[in-house]
Structure 1
Amino acid sequence: MDFQFNSDNRIDGTDAMAEQAEARTRERLARFEDRLTRVEVHVRDIDGTTNGAEGVEAAIEARPAGGQPVAVTDRGAKPEAAINGALKKLVMRLDSDFGKADRVR
């Protein structure tokens, strides 16, 4: 599974943040790893200088082998919180999608 991390110009997307996001993503998606070809994490600041409780948005797109991409988003005060929320949604979505596909077989 390939991993790609992107951030906008208002988020300090350091190498440490990218490594932390990759480690957390690989940990949460480990059971799906052989079924996914690529995962992209996009983090952006949506409220500018306001820095509100939900001022950062994380969008995660997972690409299943031979299937349509699955995308989820979540918001949080910090990039880590937004990424964790989006990962939680993605795991639930992949459980559902792969579970349905396995039952059809």
Structure 2
Amino acid sequence: MHIQVNTDKNIVGQEAMTQSVEEILGRVLERFSGQITRLEVHLSDENSASKSGIADKRCLLEARLAGRDPMAASDVGLTVEQAVTGAAKKMVSLLESELGKLGNY
């Protein structure tokens, strides 16, 4: 499973943050790693750097499965890690539903 992390101009794409995101996704989506060929992560700050607010970090996950249409899930949180974890849990539900119908996990 290849993980590609993209950030908007308001999120600093530091190596430590990218590594943290990859660890979270690897842990939460581990059992689907054989079906997911690529996982695209889009991180953004909904209120930008000039404003602060509750739950303004957004994570959009797009999972590409071999021979299937991409699936997407998103979540918002106070931190990037919270948003990534929430989106990953939503992705697990989507994958369980979709692949469960096929008996593929």
- Normalising by the smaller structure, the TM-score range is over 0.9
Residue 24 of structure 1: aligned partner: 24
Residue 46 of structure 2: aligned partner: 46
Unmatched tracts of structure 2, length 5 or more: none
Residue 82 of structure 1: aligned partner: 83
Matches of 1:40 and 1:93, distance apart in 2: 16
Matches of 2:27 and 2:85, distance apart in 1: 11
Determine what percentage of the aligned residue pairs are the same residue. 38
Residue 36 of structure 1: aligned partner: 36
Residue 14 of structure 1: aligned partner: 14
Q: AA paired with 2:76?
A: R
Aligned residues between the structures? 103
- Dislocated runs of 4+, deviation >3 Å: none
* Bigger proportion of residues as helix: 1
Unmatched tracts of structure 1, length 5 or more: none
The CA RMSD measured in Å over matched residues stands at 1.2
Matches of 1:80 and 1:30, distance apart in 2: 17
Q: Relative CO higher for 1 or 2, CA cutoff 8 Å, sep ≥ 6?
A: 2
